[in-house]
Amino acid sequence: MKKLIISILIIITINSFAQKFPGLALTPPMGWNSWNTFQTNISEDLVKGIVDSLVSSGMKDAGYTYIVLDDGWMSMQRDSITGNLIPDPKKFPHGVKALADYIHSKGLKFGLYNCAGTKTCAGYPGTRGYEYQDARFYASQDIDYLKFDWCYSDSLNAVEAYTTMSKALKTAGRPIVFSLCEWGSNHAWTWAANVGELWRTTGDIYACYEGQKDMGTWKANCLMHIVDMNEPLRKYAGPGHWDDPDMLEVGNGLSDGENRTHFSLWCMMAAPLIAGNDIRKMSAETRSILTNKDVIAIDQDPLGVQGFRYSTKDSLATWFKPLNGGDWAVCFVNRSSQPQQINFNWKNENVNDTLSSLQLNAATTTYKIADVWTKKTSSTTAKPFNAAVQPHDVIMLRLIKQ
């Protein structure tokens, strides 16, 4: 009983601090972040080049909106008089407000990074003790998105730290999407729906397929390891509050099939789509993956339901995601190193999603089958679906209700 009372008091406390602006991130945020490719080696010219390429490549038209500067945009010390953060004058000689103006002139939105602790992960000034001042600074610079990390935070309570920053952003008066990046360490999905618009569910991603990458003092997660951790959390996600399995590594060294798998599963999981590649130099295949509007439409579906793994047999997983209007997304994922044969009899499978209370019953309803990667519409659910899926690749379908 004592534990129940404590839990109720925590929930009441969190709800009493609900400070979010209404109407933000009603679909998962889409954009680009500097970290995966450039780490702290960023500059005004580089970012402008990325912005121009994002527009010319078709990524803007596909829905990518936010340009986010990660760690390393600021000077090593705050202003000695005002205490304000200072954009690095060598990297950003015209400041971040001028860069925000340039980004906004392209019809895009601008984001910055900081940390809940005393320092950022790369050792730059953190926000601890400066929450309201930093929030006012971000508002004065016309920032639209804040990624808030969790380094140098050993003495902090995550609920209190992130709630304080959320309140500070609301008080500053500018609607800013708040991205909680505490790596899933404090189970933000259980308490952050009224604090921010998205929360990390795992540690950092790395451009590898299965398992983890040893980074010396810590381990980064390969994409399928992240999928396994994020999939069970689907009940916490929805419009305005999303599970975030980290940024995309599409175009950063994975095979084309692995890139398709990565992008497909992030879309099936209604994840934020934050590209992390050098889009100035991306291949035609990478571009085609990142700008596939039929796949993106599954991620951005307004129903906002995170998909689920329906079954797994011999390393072949079948995923489903209910969509607005009665359609369904289906993704067959081959995790093995050998081709796998799909033999799926729609009429024998009664797919019942207890979370959304929606049901796919092909015995009573016929759906047209559209392959969202090949753009082919070949059959209906009146017949079993038979196809071969290549190693580390996917076949992704949209079932269109007739």
194-251 pLDDT tens trace: 999 999 999 999 999 999 999 999 999 999 999 999 999 999 999 999 999 999 999 9
18 confidence band (pLDDT: 50, 70, 90)? low
Identity of residue 135 = A
Q: State pLDDT tens for residues 127-167.
A: 999 999 999 999 999 999 999 999 999 999 999 999 999 99
CATH code, domain carrying 82: 3.20.20.70
71 is catalytic: no
204 is catalytic: yes
Residue 140 CB coordination number (10 Å): 12
- Element (H or E) spanning 56, and its range? helix 44-56
Identity of residue 233 = L
H helices of 111-217, in order, are 131-140, 158-172
CA–CA separation, 56 vs 58, rounded Å?
6
Residues 166 and 249 in one domain: yes
φ, ψ dihedrals at 304, nearest 5°: 70, 30
Q: How many helices (H) and strands (E) does the chain have?
A: 11, 20
Residues 381 and 254 in one domain: no
How many distinct structural domains can be found in the chain? 2
Residues 316 and 200 in one domain: no
Residues 330 and 255 in one domain: no
Domain boundary among 299, 327, 348: 299
Which residue is catalytic, options 71, 149, 246, 301? 149
Residue 98 CB coordination number (10 Å): 14
CA–CA separation, 330 vs 281, rounded Å?
31
pLDDT at 13 over 80: no
Domain boundary among 260, 276, 299: 299
| Residues of the domain holding 383 | 308-401
First to last CA, the chain: 51
Averaged pLDDT, 315-326: 97
CA–CA separation, 334 vs 283, rounded Å?
24
Which residue is catalytic, options 204, 278, 299, 327? 204
Q: What is the pTM of this model?
A: 0.95
Q: State pLDDT tens for residues 54-102.
A: 999 999 999 999 999 999 999 999 999 999 999 999 999 999 999 999 9
CATH code, domain carrying 387: 2.60.40.1180
Domain boundary among 246, 277, 299: 299
H helices of 29-110, in order, are 35-38, 44-56, 59-62, 95-105
